[in-house]
Amino acid sequence: MLCIRPQNRRPKYELDYKAALSGQSVQLSRIMGPNDANIVGNVHGGIILKMIEEAGCIVSTRHCNTQNGDRCVAALVRVEKTEFLSPVFIGEVTHVTAEITYTSKHSLEVQVHVMAENILTGAKKLANKAALWYVPFSLQNVEKIMDVPPIKYAAAEQEEEGKKRYEAQKLERMETKARTEEVVPPLPDPEDHPKERHTVGFSQSSLIHLVGPSDCTLHDYVQGGVTMKLMDEVAGIVAARHCSTNIVTASVDAINFHRKIKKGCVVTVTGRLTFVSNKSMEIEVFVDAASLVEAEKKKYRAVSAFFTFISLDKYNRAQTVPPIKFDGEEELRRAEEGEARYLQRKEKRLAERERQSAAAQS
Amino acid sequence: MLCIRPQNRRPKYELDYKAALSGQSVQLSRIMGPNDANIVGNVHGGIILKMIEEAGCIVSTRHCNTQNGDRCVAALVRVEKTEFLSPVFIGEVTHVTAEITYTSKHSLEVQVHVMAENILTGAKKLANKAALWYVPFSLQNVEKIMDVPPIKYAAAEQEEEGKKRYEAQKLERMETKARTEEVVPPLPDPEDHPKERHTVGFSQSSLIHLVGPSDCTLHDYVQGGVTMKLMDEVAGIVAARHCSTNIVTASVDAINFHRKIKKGCVVTVTGRLTFVSNKSMEIEVFVDAASLVEAEKKKYRAVSAFFTFISLDKYNRAQTVPPIKFDGEEELRRAEEGEARYLQRKEKRLAERERQSAAAQS
Amino acid sequence: MLCIRPQNRRPKYELDYKAALSGQSVQLSRIMGPNDANIVGNVHGGIILKMIEEAGCIVSTRHCNTQNGDRCVAALVRVEKTEFLSPVFIGEVTHVTAEITYTSKHSLEVQVHVMAENILTGAKKLANKAALWYVPFSLQNVEKIMDVPPIKYAAAEQEEEGKKRYEAQKLERMETKARTEEVVPPLPDPEDHPKERHTVGFSQSSLIHLVGPSDCTLHDYVQGGVTMKLMDEVAGIVAARHCSTNIVTASVDAINFHRKIKKGCVVTVTGRLTFVSNKSMEIEVFVDAASLVEAEKKKYRAVSAFFTFISLDKYNRAQTVPPIKFDGEEELRRAEEGEARYLQRKEKRLAERERQSAAAQS
């Protein structure tokens, strides 16, 4: 899932790049420094996710303010499954291009491409592709959802495909919303005794973070990208604890942001291993939030998601991951569900490649 | 213990300030930004502690390299008990002055003053005073402790007083070292079920942090100030969870840094409430470290310390703290020990004030 | 000197923007957060200078590596005088476009435009224009200067104009180099007694900074933009102390970077007021560096420059600045020189406007 980029993707990107100059798109670029990477030089996936979301927020907030009425800020409500196609290294320049590709009455789809450029060799590679959904909220009244001005499509076909993606994600968002509301969130296992290596308890990790001003949007709610960066950080520590090697983010399943997190909250981010295949680890990450100062202080589940990490050898090649030593029915059940997701991802990836190679031949 | 600054402290500072221009001292200044403070604008104690340690490290590393032999870096081995005398706010400029005040064969004492200046009104206040002990380690061989070039004293009396402080802290460091080596550290309580408010379990908090390059010295070991900042962060969250108000660091008991933490380690920082008086909370903080990648991966206790926090009302005045709901013998025993430390601190503070007012009158 | 943007500058920018997609240019964009600004929301000039230099470094390093031979990194050797044309605020998106406009055998000129976009209103304004000179140094041997591949010019006229700029800056760089080498740098006045308001001594300020990994290029030398950001920070503190109001950077005179600063050095940045006009303050800033650990530890003057700041009222309009209370011949002499520079800047600005309005009419 890493490093191999089908040749036919290149033309698609070239097109987007041109589009990047219209009002419906934006490009962020930044050179990667030591603070963006682990000690062997791999840039953290969370840094890339944060840049992706920043670009998405800029392009959709800008678009939603091209009309009369309240000024508004676009809030991230969903990120589609995303894959890290090539690792990025310290010293490379990352170019993140975001473009609005669909608008419904109250939401926008933004597609983002991340290119990493080695300015010493001139080599460029596609590092990530992502699709994000935003909803504009009024700055005057944060509960009020604004209308989204429609975009123009080059062809009717584009609009139809966008509509299909819109309907599909809407359905899934409603489903997961119902699920999170109905289910009382299972609390992560306690870390109450020294654990045997390769058990789930051994690698389980948590961090807490006090939400400060630079984590927030103009609404004083946490920027979606900040949450994703914290999630990747915890998942990375779980993965490194499990296999004691250099690890990198390979993919992130779709994430729905049902509940916002306000400035001044404490967020608790917990990651636990659910399933390992021969060369990958699936880690479930929970984000719970609670206000420190406000009246309603009950902790609530703000987000959860599945991250897939792989372990790299010293030549940056994926290597075998130690199997999990399971402890109890619950862990086995989660692993079975994890395996089903793993197989589904694999299938989708193969289908996508076939589709692309068919498109390339036609 | 906050905000009230006896007038007779001022002259002491003026003297140190002049010394700040000699080779044995250094001054750091920085304007406080939103990321340095909580949402009501109080600068975190941990930010001040980090600046204090940075100044101490610079002045002692510089001094230890004024001789022939291996180049070396001074590592923090101990911070004496320190009190936060006045709160610092966003927009103020913090001036941190560090001066070498004693040298033994292998260690240095650095005294640090922190002044906060409101550059709009010109008002200045003493925010903190601290004393730190450093030991120089060779850059060629990090296990090798270097000799410290002696400083010149203005009067024989100064050297003698310094020697007394040196002997006292040496004794305490040896004692705590023996204690940490002999005792298997008690593991913090599990966070395994929703807890009742005002219990110890309710406010207990942990964070994990992956040590990155900007956390480290030239030796690739964690800068002492970075560790103290993380400790203050966790302690602050414990305090805020307990009393749901704006809280600030009032003081930190002496901290001994017996074991270093290397780049690439994961540190787990845990804080738990031990004792509350009418207007203060004592929080015990543990720092445990484990390498993610190296052979020896056993988690070890790197540092532990007691922080005292107070709760502020909207006029920045100390207010009453809710009592702890204890659960079990162990928690009661810890509270008793906490109370003893609380009374001892109070006594010391009174003795110090009397000593100063006597000095002012003579 | 602020906020006024002649309409005829716009078309110039549009052209550059297109060029931004060629290999010879790059665009960085970033949303401005609370940490980039002062407490009333104005983005610090130093943040803009740092982004300008990052863009310049990327585009020139990329260009110099488009040939065979050693891989190299471009180091900033000079920034031409630059003016802040409009203030930038928190929440705005800054777009920095850098383009190579001239190449000599061993150096490149990069022209940079900074646009600030309010994504809520759609308003865009030109915030800054700058010209930077870079020299490529080999990564294998940092003393070795590499050849610069020539660029293609659209017209012979462009090359000629570039050559004139090249000759002019070369002369000035040689002159200032001779000056800094010959003159023993006068040490800044000691800050040894409380000063009367509006004297030079009252507002004089210093900060020191230990150069860490994230301040550096791939060569382990300080990134030019990091130095400029520190200089702006100190100058801003001087200006705020002098007039106790909201202040912003109005312009920076040309800066020559004659001596590099290595990782692990301590830099001392000092600013002092030299001259005030009715509505502006000129602040001279010195950057002195010294290694903490290396053999050659003598402090050396790495950079110096003149910053001009203005004081803003609550409507963001320039307001009158208090006059300086001078103390001694030396300060008066500096003020006279400052006045001469002030008049020269004013003259140049007028000439530039006339030239542009003439161009617009033709």
Amino acid at C340: A
User: According to the model, what pLDDT value does residue B219 have?
Assistant: 79
pLDDT at position B294 = 64
Residue C328 lies in a domain: yes
What's the whole-number mean pLDDT along residues A2-25? 41
Q: How far is B84 from chain C (nearest CA, A)?
A: 22
CB pairs under 8 A between A and B: 90
Collect all residues of chain C within an 8 Å Cβ-Cβ radius of residue A72.
Answer: 120
pLDDT tens by residue, C264-277: 888 999 999 999 99
CA distances from B208 to A209, B302, B361 (A): 10, 14, 50
CA separation for the pair B150, B156 (Å, rounded): 14
Q: Which residues of B are designated catalytic?
A: 38, 232
Minimum CA–CA partner of A68 in chain C:
C121
d(Cα C280, Cα C247) in Å, to the nearest integer? 10
Closest CA to A261 of A306, A312, A224, A313: A224
Is B255 in contact with B270 (CB distance < 8 Å)? no
3-state secondary structure chain C: CCCCCCCCHHHHHHHHHHHCCCCCEEEEEEECCHHHECCCCEECHHHHHHHHHHHHHHHHHHHHCCCCCCCEEEEEEEECCEEECCCCECCCEEEEEEEEEEECCCCEEEEEEEEEECCCCCCEEEEEEEEEEEEEEECCCCCCECCCCCCCCCCHHHHHHHHHHHHHHHHHHHHHHHHHHHCCCCCCCCCCCCCCCCEHHHHCEEEEEECCHHHECCCCEECHHHHHHHHHHHHHHHHHHHHCCEEEEEEECCEECCCCCECCEEEEEEEEEEEECCCCEEEEEEEEEEECCCCCCCCEEEEEEEEEEEEECCCCCEECCCCCECCCHHHHHHHHHHHHHHHHHHHHHHHHHHHHHHHHHC
Q: Are residues A24 and A136 in the same domain?
A: yes
- ipTM score of the complex? 0.79
* Neighboring chain B residues of A242 at a CB cutoff of 8 Å: none
Q: What is the pLDDT of residues A236-275, one digit of tens each?
A: 999 999 998 889 999 999 999 988 898 888 899 999 999 9
Residues of B in Cβ contact (< 8 Å) with A39: 212-213, 263-264
pLDDT at B1 over 70: no
Q: Is residue B188 part of a domain?
A: no
Rounded to an integer, the average pLDDT of B76-80 is 95
pLDDT beyond 50 at C85: yes
Q: Does residue B316 or residue A112 have the better pLDDT? A: A112
Residue A228's nearest CA partner among A23, A65, A53 is: A53
Q: Is the pLDDT of residue B184 over 70?
A: no
Interface probe for B, chosen from C36, C208, C262, C269 (most Cβ of B below 10 Å), is: C208
The CATH number of the domain where C317 resides is what?
3.10.129.10
Instruction: Say if residues A63 and A24 touch (Cβ distance below 8 Å).
Output: yes
Of C233, C240, C294, the CB nearest to B119: C240
Using CA coordinates, name the residue in chain C closest to A19: C21
Question: Tens digit of pLDDT for each residue in A173-200?
Answer: 888 887 765 544 444 444 444 578 899 9
On whether both A38 and A115 belong to a single domain, the answer is yes
Q: What is the mean pLDDT of chain C?
A: 86
Last residue of a domain, one of B180, B212, B247: B180
Inter-chain touch A264–B39, beta carbons under 8 Å: yes
Task: Please check whether residue B191 lies inside any domain of the structure.
Answer: no
Based on the number of CB atoms within 10 Å of its own CB, is B315 exposed (0-12), middle (13-18) or buried (19 or more)?
exposed
Residues B191-213: what's their mean pLDDT? 80
- Residues C122 and C255 placed together within one structural domain of the fold: no
User: Would A190 be classed as within a structural domain?
Assistant: no
With a CB cutoff of 8 Å and minimum separation 6, the contacts of C295 are B71
Is residue C227 included in any domain, yes or no? Answer: yes
pLDDT confidence of residue A180: 67
Same domain, B37 and B141: yes
| Percent residues over pLDDT 70 in chain B | 88
Same domain, C119 and C245: no
pLDDT digits (tens, 9 = 90+) for B4-52: 333 333 333 333 434 434 457 888 888 888 888 887 889 999 999 999 9
One-letter amino acid of B175: E
pLDDT of residue C187 exceeding 70: no
What is the percent of chain A with per-residue pLDDT over 90, rounded to a whole number?
59
Query: Do the domain assignments include residue A329?
Result: yes
Specify the number of domains making up chain B.
2
Same domain, B224 and B170: no
Q: How close, in Å, is residue C193 to chain B by CA atoms?
A: 8
Q: Is residue C20 part of a domain?
A: yes
Chain B residues whose C-beta sits inside 8 Å of any chain A C-beta: 34-35, 38-39, 187, 189-194, 205-210, 212-214, 233-234, 236-237, 240-241, 244-246, 263-264, 266, 292-293, 297
* Inside any domain, residue C362: no
pLDDT, position A294:
64
Per residue in A207-226, pLDDT (tens digit) is: 888 888 888 887 889 999 99
Q: Which of C71, C120, C217, C220 to mutate to test the interface with A (most CBs of A within 10 A)?
A: C120
Average pLDDT in the C55-74 region?
91
On the question of pLDDT at C233 being above 90, the answer is yes
Q: Are B161 and B214 members of one domain?
A: no
**Enclosing domain of residue B242:** 200-357
- Taking contacts as CB-CB distances below 8 angstroms, the residues of chain C near B121 are 244
Would you name the residues of C annotated as active-site residues?
38, 232
Asked whether residue B242 carries a pLDDT value surpassing 50, the answer given is: yes
Min distance C281 CA to chain A CA atoms (Å): 31
Residue A94: the pLDDT is 93
Q: Does the beta-carbon distance from C213 to A71 stay under 8 Å?
A: no
Predicted local confidence at residue B181, as pLDDT: 57
Residue in C39, C207, C214 closest to B30 by CB:
C207
The minimum CA-CA distance between C214 and chain B, rounded to whole Å, is 7
Q: What is the structure's pLDDT at A296? A: 56
Mean pLDDT of B330-352: 93
For the ranges B154-168, B289-303, C19-33, the maximum mean pLDDT occurs at B154-168
> Averaged over B112-134, what is the pLDDT?
91
Q: Which chains touch B (3 or more CB pairs under 8 A)?
A: A, C
Average pLDDT of chain B, as a whole number: 85
Closest chain A residue to C92, measured at CA? A58
For A26-58, the pLDDT digits (tens) are 888 888 988 898 878 899 999 999 999 999 999
* Domain final position from C148, C180, C212: C180
Alpha-carbon gap, residue A203 to A235, rounded angstroms:
10
- Residue A237 shares a structural domain with residue A315: yes
pLDDT tens-place string over residues C115-160:
999 988 888 999 999 999 999 999 888 889 999 999 999 899 999 9
Q: How far, in whole angstroms, is CA C89 from its chain's centroid?
A: 19
Of B240, B263, B293, the CB nearest to A245: B293
Q: Tell me, yes or no, whether B171 and B222 share the same domain.
A: no
How far is A3 from chain B, CA to nearest CA, in Å? 24
**Does residue A297 carry a pLDDT above 70?**
no
Catalytic residues of A: 38, 232
Are both B21 and B108 inside the same structural domain? yes
Q: Are residues A159 and A215 in the same domain?
A: no
Are A285 and A172 part of one and the same domain?
no
Contacts of B28 in chain C (CB under 8 A): 207-209
Number of Cα atoms under 13 Å in the Cβ half of residue A36? 20
Whether A210 and B38 lie within 8 Å, measured CB to CB: yes
β-bridge mates for residue C43, sequence order: C37
Supply the pLDDT for residue C9.
34
Last residue of a domain, one of C147, C180, C213: C180
CA A228 to chain C, closest CA, distance in angstroms equals 18
